[in-house]
Amino acid sequence: MPKPAKGARLGGSAAHEKLLLNNLAKSLFEHGRITTTEAKARRLRPVAERFITKAKKGDIHNRRLVLQSITDKGVVHTLFTEIAPRYENRPGGYTRITKIGNRRGDNAPMAVIELVEALTVAQQATGEAEAATKRAVKEDAAKKDETPVESVEDAAPVEDAKDA
């Protein structure tokens, strides 16, 4: 018989923790980033990354598995059609946790957990264009170094022009 994880359960039972993490994951996928306590963010990270990995597979079985936990069909549709394709070539590490200090009321350590943005098509095109420009500049510099410089012949016509 499966037993719930031992230790802290984020202030409630195992069922409450599961419900809380599923709701946090839903909010994360809906908004892209959420502010919560560090403990909740650390517990949310593996749950959210598992959902994204299932969404990357994209089949109906994995969609139904995600729908068991995240019951909002709109968020699941967004996860499968918009979020998962961004991470198609990324093997993991879809989220980032950033500490932001303590909460004012109870001094609880707070953090922002957000989806790591994969490069968009426009950003990739910009990067490729910059790389091509750098290569062209290097090639031009190499060609200039190869051509011989005839300074004596160039200087003579300039002096003739001054005399005239």
Say whether both 20 and 60 belong to one domain: yes
Say whether both 25 and 75 belong to one domain: yes
Say whether both 68 and 134 belong to one domain: no
Is pTM beyond 0.85? Reply is: no
Q: What is the mean pLDDT of the chain?
A: 85
CA–CA dist 158, 88 (Å, integer)? 63
156 against 14, higher pLDDT: 14
Say whether both 63 and 126 belong to one domain: no
Q: What is the pLDDT of residues 91-123, one digit of tens each?
A: 999 999 999 999 999 999 999 999 998 555 555
Residue 147, pLDDT score:
61
Backbone CA torsion sign across 128, 32, 9, 103: positive
The count of domains in the chain is: 2
- Containing structural domain, residue 46: 14-118
Residue 154 lies in a domain: yes
Say whether both 88 and 152 belong to one domain: no
Say whether both 66 and 143 belong to one domain: no
Cα angle at 4 between 52 and 111, to 5 degrees?
A: 50
The yes-or-no verdict on residue 125 having pLDDT over 70 is no
